[in-house]
Amino acid sequence: MNSNPTPKDSSLFAYALMAPALVVLVSVSLVPFCYAIWLSFHVVDYGQVGEFTGWSNYVKLIHNDRFWNSLWVSTQFMLTAVPIEFALGLAGALILNQKIWARGLWLPLLFIPSMMAPIVVGLLWKIMLAGSWGLLSYNIIERFHFLTGTSVFASNEYSLLALAIVDVWQWTPFMMLTFFAGRQSLPMGLYKAAEVDGASTMQIFWRLTLPLMTPLMAVIGMLRFIDAFKVFDSIFMLTSGGPGVSTESPSMLAYKMSFEQWRIGESAAMAVVVWLVFFLICNVFYQVGKKRLNAF
């Protein structure tokens, strides 16, 4: 009797292993999202689903200036924070790769900002940049007259920049450790051959390290851009979207629509629109990364 598993048995076993994760994913992601799509086509008053209204919630959203402002706010935040995190993370990874002193001690410590709960990060930076008595506010902002008489989070001009700095502080170590792991996995034979051929450090970086790490950079960059665009925690803790609407992201606006103004149908429509925009952008990014960067 042949006891070797058939390809069909192997496929069934693979699906059985994936089934628990798929059930959880469908339950907590797909079902609520489909429900949000359904809500976006209805009138929802104080949690009570009313009549079908077709595209009216989407029409209201398109004519809502705060919606377009929130998209612009998140775009500015994303394009400010992520490139800085990317550059600092890559530079830090290359430094860590040089076998610096006590590297085994530094590596676990670098994880601390990324492991901290968002509410803790928010409270920490609220104290650091509070009014004129915060540690950084008093010693840097007030002393060098960058901003006086008010908190940086109350400034229309600097509040979004301050939020970007908080994001950079929290996520640069994650980028650094990810790039460091990627650099460590590269084949050493190529580097030894380049050194034998007399290649300089910059030539090795531009012609070996950067091309070999491009797939990893593409994936991590896409994930961080998505995460930065839908930022909510730090904005909720530090500015609540203010002053005015200068730091109001789509996530923050959707929260206010749902839980302060009870415009749940319109907020569901906004969630669908933002998802659709990012789906199209990520699909283009995926196709380019797959064909030109071999990233997927």
Q: Is residue 42 part of a domain?
A: no
Q: What type of residue sits at position 93? A: A
Q: Is residue 4 part of a domain?
A: no
CATH number of the domain within which 206 lies: 1.10.3720.10
Residue 1: per-residue pLDDT: 47
Number of structural domains (the chain) is: 1
141 is in which domain, residue-wise? 65-293
Examine the pLDDT at 42 and tell me if it is beyond 70: yes
Residue length of the chain: 296
Identify the H or E element spanning 191.
helix 188-196
Q: Is residue 41 part of a domain?
A: no
Q: Is residue 180 part of a domain?
A: yes
Going by C-alpha positions, the residue among 22, 26, 161, 179 that lies closest to residue 89 is: 179
Stated pTM of the model: 0.86
Q: Is residue 44 part of a domain?
A: no
What's the helix, strand, coil split of the chain in %, to 5?
Answer: 75, 5, 25
Q: Is residue 8 part of a domain?
A: no
Residue 79: per-residue pLDDT: 93
Please, what is the Cα angle at 210 between 205 and 216, to 5 degrees? 145
Q: What is the mean pLDDT of the chain?
A: 85
Q: Average pLDDT in the 222-234 region?
A: 89
Q: Average pLDDT in the 147-164 region?
A: 81
Q: Is residue 222 part of a domain?
A: yes
